Amino acid sequence: MSFGTRLYTWLNGKFVGSDESGNKYYANSYNHADLNAKRWVIFSGEIEASKIPPHWHAWLHKSIDEPPINYKHKYSWQKNHKANMTGTRNAHFPPSNPLSKNYNPDQIKVDYESWSP
* pLDDT tens string 46-87: 888 999 999 999 999 999 888 998 888 889 999 988 888 888
20, 80 Cβ separation under 8 angstroms: yes
Domain limits, the chain = 1-117
d(CA 54, CA 97): 30
The per-residue pLDDT for range 96-113, each reduced to its tens digit, is 888 888 787 777 677 777
